[in-house]
Amino acid sequence: MWQGLGLALALCLLPGGGAESQSASSHCKEAPRWQIRDQDPMLNSLGTVTVVALLQAKMIFNIICIFFLLKPFRLEDLRVKLENEGYSNISYIIVNHQGMPSQLNHKTLKEKVSEHIPVYQQDEKQTDVWSTLKGNKDDFLIYDRCGRLVYHLSLPYTFLSFSYVEDSIKTTYCEQNCGNCSYTVSSLFNDFG
């Protein structure tokens, strides 16, 4: 039984074998408008590659929850690693789940990252950002400098112990998958010049 489960998990982790949600209809389209209270994080990040992580703060009840609570730590580690490799001018955004348990544990999630990664808490009365972005828990959305969606990654591709998120950020940073962007030329010269 365990061998079969291991094989199924391995197949899910192969490219094309799992749940990498990247629909052709959303690829290279501008991010839908969304706000949290009076802030517009996507507008504020134009000109940078933007990584939006949909994470959920919750209480730790078992070992599985502990594993998922490590994701913000690993996102901070990834941010530092990429910055040390010369990938600067990248915006990281965490959007916490809208539900009341997540709101109550927002501070815990926020404490897991540095001030370089803002953690936004949705209000239950506002339009759900996760729904607007067509995202789910632990999804990562990666936008180019012009705010166009290049990658929308879902589990298991968002386990930060694998390189899918990192590779997607680097590809978005270095290539023009969605065509020319008015921010690209000046940004690249500023980053490496």
Is 18 inside a domain boundary? no
* 3-class secondary-structure state, position 114: coil
Is 147 inside a domain boundary? yes
| pTM (predicted TM-score) | 0.78
Q: Which domain holds residue 124?
A: 30-177
What tens digit of pLDDT does each residue of 35-91 get? 988 899 999 899 999 999 998 876 544 433 433 445 666 888 899 999 999 999 999
Whether residue 6 is predicted with pLDDT greater than 80 in this model: the reply is no
Is 4 inside a domain boundary? no
Tokens 């010269």 correspond to 189
Is 5 inside a domain boundary? no
CATH code, domain with 156: 3.40.30.10
Is 21 inside a domain boundary? no
Is 12 inside a domain boundary? no
Domain count, the chain: 1
Mean pLDDT of the chain: 78
Is 190 inside a domain boundary? no
Is 38 inside a domain boundary? yes
Contacts with 114 (C-beta within 8 Å, 6 or more apart), sequence order: 76, 79
| Order of all β-strands in the sheet with 49-55 | 119-120, 90-96, 49-55, 140-143, 149-153
